[in-house]
Amino acid sequence: MVGERNILITEVALRDGSHAIRHQYTVDQVVAVAKGLDDANVPYIEVSHGDGLGGSSLQYGLSLTNEMELIEAAVSTVTNAKIAVLLLPGIGTMKELKQAAQLGVKMARIATHVTEADISAQHIAFAKELGLETVGFLMMAHMVPTEKLVEQAKLMESYGADVVYVVDSAGAFLPHEVKERIQALKNSLSIEIGFHGHNNLSLAMANTLAAIEEGATRIDGSIRCLGAGAGNTQTEVLIAVLNRLGINTGIDLYKIMDVAENIVAPILEKPQEITKDGLILGYAGVYSSFLLHAQAASKKFGIDSRDILVELGKRKVVGGQEDMIIDVAAEISKQKQTAHT
């Protein structure tokens, strides 16, 4: 693993971290974080609503500040870093992507569920037309066998993606599973491979290192672990580890540590830690948006929300199927009542 390998880091705290602070970023906070990251020589900084462009809504959570203002502020602050945005087709539109490009964004990350790469074709093509570096982002990648992941990644490559990411949205992967998937993609694609980890099982760092070992060259990190669920691979810790391994990122370790401590830590409403909620999401392998619905259903039916989430994971329920939560809760409640009679 040691060697003259270059790894490009995308810092996601100003996008994924939006989940952790209920999408309440201010322009001043984004400017301070972006400036600190730029000074530390972070190459890519992702800025948008936690659910990507157009995500500010009652369903996904309303932003305190219009994301285009945050994007514009970040672009005008940095001198070396490139500002990136995330877009989920069906939430964000090409109109918003064009607007972001006009504001000076340099990278678009087009995200779909791991089985739905085909809905990214138009958006990837349009991002390329706009002159953006374009990333295919396959979310909830733990939910399919390796062969299916390869098939979907090949689709994104065929649409023109410069990079394809394996995205562990639920923080459910184990290191050997990451190694198998990155290795398969490395053998099947001619473009770069990326990895985005979550820390719900305390494996974000181990999974990220497994991905790098198998040839992933694009890696996501979140400073101070600021992200959905239990957070992401912690950027400043990752830089320290990669320095120890002799792997070059170009990021200044002391400066990124200072940004984490002095600028980002005060923004956190509470420290990112692995609570029972984050842990059960990783264990069950379900998306973090299910948590509040499951907790509401558990109160209604008088059952443990963990039982609901584990059953949803077994059924491989995906985002958009939240209506199944009530059905599953009712079934579990009925089973328990039957067992007691």
Residues labelled as active-site residues: 19
Annotated binding-site residue numbers:
15-16, 169, 196, 198, 287
DSSP 163: E
* Angle in degrees, CA 274, 278, 280, rounded to 5: 120
Count Cβ atoms within 10 A of the Cβ of residue 191 and give its class: 0-12 exposed, 13-18 middle, 19 or more buried. middle
Question: How far apart are alpha carbons 68 and 56 in whole angstroms?
Answer: 11
Binding positions for substrate are 15-16, 169, 196, 287
Token digits of residue 122:
């138009």
Phi first, then psi, for residue 224 (nearest 5°) are 60, 20
Dist. CA 72–CA 99, nearest whole Å = 10
H-state helical runs in the chain? 17-20, 27-39, 67-77, 94-102, 121-129, 146-159, 175-188, 204-213, 235-245, 253-258, 276-284, 290-301, 305-314, 324-339
Q: Any idea what DSSP says for residue 143?
A: G
Q: Nearest to residue 237, comparing CAs of 205, 271, 272?
A: 205
Q: By C-alpha distance, which of 84, 3, 78 is closest to 41?
A: 78
Contact at 8 Å (CB) between 120 and 133? no
CB 50 within 8 A of CB 14: no
